[in-house]
Amino acid sequence: MLQPRDLKGRRAISYARWSSGKQASGDSLDRQTKNAKDFCAIHGITLDSELLDDGVSAFKGANLEASLGKFVGDVRSGKIPKEIVLIVENIDRITRVKPTRAIRYFLDLLDTGLTLVTLTDRRVHTSEGYDDNFSNLMMSLMAMQAAHEYSAKLSYRVGEAWKRKAEKARAAVASGGTRIKVAKLPFWIDRETNALNARADDARLIFELAKEGHGQQTITQMLNTRGIASPSGKTWAQAVVGEVLRSPAAYGCLVLKGEEVPGYFPALISEMEWLATRQRTKARRHSRQVGRTSNLFSRMVHCGHCGSPMVLTSSKKGGMSWGYFACTGKTFKRTGCTAPNWRYDQFERELIDRIGFLAVPISQDQTAPDLSRELEDTIGALEAKQSNVLAGIAEAETADVRKVLLGKADELARQIEAKRREIVAIRENDARYRESAAAVWDYEMDQEEIRRLVKDDRKGAQGLISSLVQRIDLESDSKTLRRAVVTMRSGHSHSLVFDRTGEPG
């Protein structure tokens, strides 16, 4: 195995990493950089530059995608010469993921031709050194195991501290006592009284504009046009509008590292309205038609023959441009589909004329609260198991036992996260059902309103249709007859027959 003296005359890059802001404001960078400079000075190595990952955790491997990951990629591609020496304080600066993953990444890193130096033990790591001496591999694997176990214990202790803080907050809500200190309060909450302040109407306006169908960029422009100040007192940025729309504090919920404290703040809007806004924002973000309203049925329409999405396209005939729904499976030759195109203007006109017939009252889904409670009970049981497993890691007598326990803890964490995603999906769908029910009665009360929106406010029309319609499948049984199967968010499906008479060939 190479010794530090063998690196004389080589060029090097130092890598420093820390995971928290407190470490950044402390001596973490100075310490790691000074040690690298001293090592290079002693052994005649030229330190070319410094590579930093500020506030990036290695416990879950985030740094493998940050500056370190980019650097290794550049070495692999030849942008950076493989003769370079990478200097780190300790092996845990590279990664603290599970040892089985860590050793694979570590060996892949060395296979690029890089030479790695760890300063705490003055070891020089090369691919050849690991091929020639199995004990080198075992020493590094043990160091990785120790680094991961330390991070796992630290993560557990930090998590328990946040849980205790959340319990204090819940107790304060229940008793009406003094609220806990929160580093960053929503701009519409008064820090002294924890009540709504004079900016509450500005915050409500953002949600009202989102409910009307406006996207974050449009809302930002509207706020700035009206001269409404941002939380910092300056003009609004789209990212700040997005933060407001995503904040659970809008319906009064404080979230501390995943721990929810309902009712901690006075609510701007109901939880149902917040969830509906969140899902509507997701739909806009994933839609290719965002910012355009030529297609009132964006992302709803699918081919009834092959199931592929149908998108709005256009073609010219007789000096005129016609809009069509076209099957992407056919267009991009992903399937053998031969479904014909659908004239968009005729489809829109006929569907809008029948929207009142489709909008049958929606029965409220009464199972959602029960399903959520069952999932919360399941999560509670899984978290109890996880706590027992993590506590057992500290008392484990051998590395083999610790390895098994860490594996169980990881699996339980994945199960907990999956159950939490299920709860969010159930709550969002329930909110959309409630919103759809309100929209149904609007349509039934005034059928002309939707026609007016289609003409004067197509974004608004698109939002209302999206709150009612979940999916539309277009089928062609013959050259003259076509059928649209419209599935409502209520779960009801309707089959509408369209006549192709008069459509250009």
Q: Do both 129 and 237 map to the same domain?
A: no
* Of the candidates 136, 39, 127, the residue with the CA atom closest to the CA atom of residue 87: 39
pLDDT cut 70: percent of the chain above it: 71
What DSSP state is assigned to residue 180? P
Residue 171 forms part of a structural domain: no
Do 475 and 347 reside in the same domain of the chain? yes
pLDDT confidence of residue 471: 92
For the residues 255-283, what does the mean pLDDT come to? 83
Judgement on whether residues 306 and 220 belong to the same structural domain of the protein: no
Going from the C-alpha of 230 to that of each of 203, 220, 240, 243, 276, the distances in angstroms are 10, 10, 8, 12, 24
Distance CA 141, CA 351 (A): 64
Q: According to the model, what pLDDT value does residue 291 have?
A: 40
Judgement on whether residues 431 and 459 belong to the same structural domain of the protein: no
The last residue of a domain, from among 406, 425, 442: 442
pLDDT greater than 70 at residue 434: no
* Within-domain flag for 295: no
If asked whether residues 44 and 143 sit together in one domain, one would say yes
Integer-rounded Cα radius of gyration of the chain: 30
Q: Are 296 and 450 in contact (CB under 8 A)?
A: no
| Separation CA 411–CA 415 (nearest Å) | 6
Is the same domain home to 45 and 124?
yes
Query: Are 148 and 39 found together in one domain?
Result: yes
Structure confidence at residue 59 (pLDDT): 39
Q: Of 152, 173, 191, at which residue does a domain stop?
A: 152
pLDDT of residue 504: 37
Whether 105 contacts 122, CB under 8 Å: no
- Whether 100 shows a pLDDT value over 90: the answer reads no
- The answer on 307 and 346 residing in a single domain is yes
Q: What is the pLDDT of residue 282?
A: 65
Looking up residue 398, the CATH number of its domain turns out to be 1.20.58.90
Q: pLDDT, tens digit, for every residue of 146-160?
A: 655 665 565 556 666
Average pLDDT over residues 185-213: 90
**pLDDT at residue 119 is higher than 70:** yes
Question: Does 187 lie in the same domain as 138?
Answer: no
Q: Could you give the number of structural domains in the chain?
A: 4
Q: DSSP secondary-structure letter at 270?
A: -
**Domain identity same for 379 and 492:** no
- The lowest-confidence range among 93-102, 306-315, 388-397, 492-501 is 93-102
Instruction: Give pLDDT tens digits for 326-364.
Output: 898 888 777 888 888 898 988 898 888 777 666 555 444
Question: What pLDDT digit, counting tens, does each position of 265-278 carry?
Answer: 999 999 888 888 88
Range with the poorest average pLDDT among 40-44, 210-214, 264-268: 210-214
Q: What is the pLDDT of residue 310?
A: 92
Band (pLDDT 50/70/90 cuts) for residue 379 is confident
Does 122 reside within a domain?
yes
According to the model, what pLDDT value does residue 109 have?
Answer: 81
Weakest mean pLDDT among 136-145, 207-216, 308-317: 136-145
Asked if residue 200 is part of any domain, the answer here is yes
Q: What is the CATH number of the domain that holds 89?
A: 3.40.50.1390
What is the structure's pLDDT at 108?
Answer: 79
In a domain, 294, yes or no: no
Please, which residues have CB within 8 angstroms of residue 382's CB and are 6 or more apart in sequence?
A: 412, 415, 416, 419
* pLDDT score of 388: 80
Based on the fold, state whether residues 107 and 147 are members of the same structural domain. Answer: yes
Pairing of strands 481-488, 493-499: antiparallel
Q: Are residues 264 and 127 in the same domain?
A: no
Judge whether 214 lies within some domain.
Answer: yes
pLDDT of residue 172: 83
More confident residue, 202 or 419: 202
Examine residue 399 and state whether it is found in any structural domain, yes or no: yes
pLDDT in the model for residue 5:
87
Question: Minimal CA–CA distance to 233: which of 265, 199, 190?
Answer: 199
Q: Are 376 and 423 in contact (CB under 8 A)?
A: yes
Identify the band that residue 302 occupies on the pLDDT scale cut at 50, 70 and 90.
very high
Q: Is residue 170 part of a domain?
A: no
Domain assignment of residue 376, given as a range: 367-442
pLDDT at 7 over 80: yes
Specify whether the CB–CB gap between 132 and 9 falls below 8 A.
no
Residue 268 sits in a domain of what CATH number? 3.90.1750.20
Over pLDDT 90: what percentage of the chain? 13
Final residue in a domain of this structure, among 442, 458, 490: 442
Q: What does the alpha-carbon distance between residue 427 and residue 413 come to, in Å, rounded to a whole number?
A: 21
- Name the pLDDT band for 251 (thresholds 50, 70, 90): very high
Tell me the CA end-to-end span of the chain in Å, nearest whole number: 77
Q: What is the mean pLDDT of the chain?
A: 77
